[in-house]
């Protein structure tokens, strides 16, 4: 379904002017819906290019490529990987990421639990300033949202605006874009104000994930992780449960299995080598755990891709 353009007629029936619809449904299927905004004339301060929602297939990826505007993704379900600025981030539900103009980036859905996300593309004279107020930048592209369903509802309302508004859709989307920024800014400010030790809870989660990403191939323990970021193990576990809905140990194990899945697609690595590179010293333990998580052995998984 596409929104019809508006046509102005003369008294004799001749077409005077055809006016493009302010918003259009660019694409829709059982997994994705993309809405394009054709009229950005209402505000140079901050304006939207498009918005959408997608339930990605296993391993679906975009890039490496660049865009000419800002693009914000927010994860509604599942998990995936973002690679940008020479860093890799493994992200899950209630986290999001910012892609900045002219910055090379790559992101892909998880293999065992691919993400579903909503997104919005935007720009404007003050877009960068608003992002900075929300604690987002090229140097800090990832966030965790802790204010319930507010951000999710805002993004979903953007997509629904196409069906629910005909004449005021553009202004509706403009209002929702400002609402989205107000939620992001509030989320960022609350996190700073509520932190008694300067470092935010988001900071601890980010540092934990960074430690796992840099050391998963080594024989690390959760106690070492907690010690590295300066928390006791119990409090660290409570933060993982609060923000990621899992335990540090399960997150580490899942990260290792995801890495193993990537390595198994390369036939130059033996199963023993894949086990070691994924952080498992005992190949037998690796194969048993892999089958328990994936439902098939590493060898059978490899045969699906090679």
Model confidence over 180-225: pLDDT tens digits? 999 999 988 765 545 444 446 777 888 899 899 899 999 999 999 9
**Confidence at 125, pLDDT banded by 50, 70, 90:** confident
Q: What is the pLDDT of residues 161-191, one digit of tens each?
A: 877 777 778 888 999 999 999 999 998 876 5
Model confidence pLDDT, tens digit, residues 72-97? 999 999 999 999 999 999 999 999 99
**What pLDDT was estimated at residue 2?**
39
Cβ pair 115, 56 in contact under 8 A: yes
Yes or no: say if 47 and 87 are a contact pair by the CB < 8 Å rule. Answer: no
What's the whole-number mean pLDDT along residues 62-67?
A: 91
- Mean pLDDT calculated for residue range 112-130: 91
Q: What is the pTM assigned to this prediction?
A: 0.58
The contacts of residue 85 (CB under 8 Å, 6+ apart) are 103, 138, 139, 141
Residue partners of 279: CB distance under 8 A and separation at least 6: 216, 217, 218, 219, 220, 252, 256, 259
pLDDT, residue 164, reads 79
In which element (H, E) is residue 7 found? strand 6-9
| Both tokens assigned to 99 | 């892609």
d(CA 40, CA 28): 22
Dist CA 21 CA 7 (whole Å): 10
In what helix (H) or strand (E) does residue 214 lie, and over which residues does it extend? Answer: helix 201-215
Q: How far is it, in rounded angstroms, from Cα 258 to Cα 78?
A: 13
Q: Is 101 within 8 Å of 70 (Cβ atoms)?
A: yes
Q: Taking Cα atoms as reference points, which of 75, 72, 43 lies closest to residue 175?
A: 43
Task: Write the CA distances from 212 to 20, 69, 90, 246, integer angstroms.
Answer: 50, 31, 10, 14
- The pLDDT, as a whole number, for residue 34 is 72
Directed axis angle between helix 233-244 and helix 248-264, to 10°?
60
Mean of the per-residue pLDDT values for the chain? 84
Nearest partner of 117 among 81, 141, 84, 88, judged by Cα: 81
How far apart are the C-alpha atoms of 229 and 288, rounded to whole Å?
Answer: 31
pLDDT of residue 162: 74
Beta bridge partners of 34: 27, 52
């Amino acid at each position: 379904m596409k929104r019809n353009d508006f046509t102005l007629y003369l008294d004799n029936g001749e077409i005077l002017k055809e006016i493009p619809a302010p918003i259009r449904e660019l694409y829709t299927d059982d997994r994705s819906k993309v809405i394009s905004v054709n009229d950005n004339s209402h505000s140079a301060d901050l304006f939207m290019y498009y918005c959408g929602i997608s339930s990605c297939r296993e391993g679906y990826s975009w890039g490496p490529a660049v865009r000419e505007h800002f693009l914000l993704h927010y994860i509604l379900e599942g998990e995936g990987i973002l690679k940008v600025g020479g860093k890799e981030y493994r992200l899950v539900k209630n986290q999001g990421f910012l892609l900045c103009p002219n910055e090379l980036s790559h992101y892909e859905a998880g293999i065992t639990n691919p993400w579903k996300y909503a997104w919005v593309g935007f720009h404007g004279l003050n877009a960068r300033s608003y992002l900075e107020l929300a604690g987002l930048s090229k140097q800090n592209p990832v966030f965790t949202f802790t204010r319930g369903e507010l951000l999710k509802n805002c993004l979903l309302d953007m997509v629904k605006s196409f069906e629910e508004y005909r004449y005021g859709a553009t202004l509706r989307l403009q209002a929702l874009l400002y609402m989205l920024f107000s939620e992001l800014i509030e989320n960022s400010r609350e996190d700073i104000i509520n932190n008694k030790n300067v470092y935010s809870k988001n900071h601890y989660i980010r540092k934990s994930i960074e430690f796992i990403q840099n050391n998963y191939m080594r024989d690390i323990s959760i106690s070492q992780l907690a010690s590295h970021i300066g928390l006791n193990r119990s409090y660290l576990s409570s933060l993982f449960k609060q923000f990621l809905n899992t335990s540090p140990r399960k997150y580490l194990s899942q990260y290792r299995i995801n890495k193993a899945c990537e390595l198994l697609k390369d036939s130059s690595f033996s199963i023993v080598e894949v086990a070691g590179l994924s952080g498992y010293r005992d190949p037998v333990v690796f194969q048993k755990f892999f089958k328990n998580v994936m439902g098939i052995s590493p060898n059978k998984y490899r045969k699906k891709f090679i």
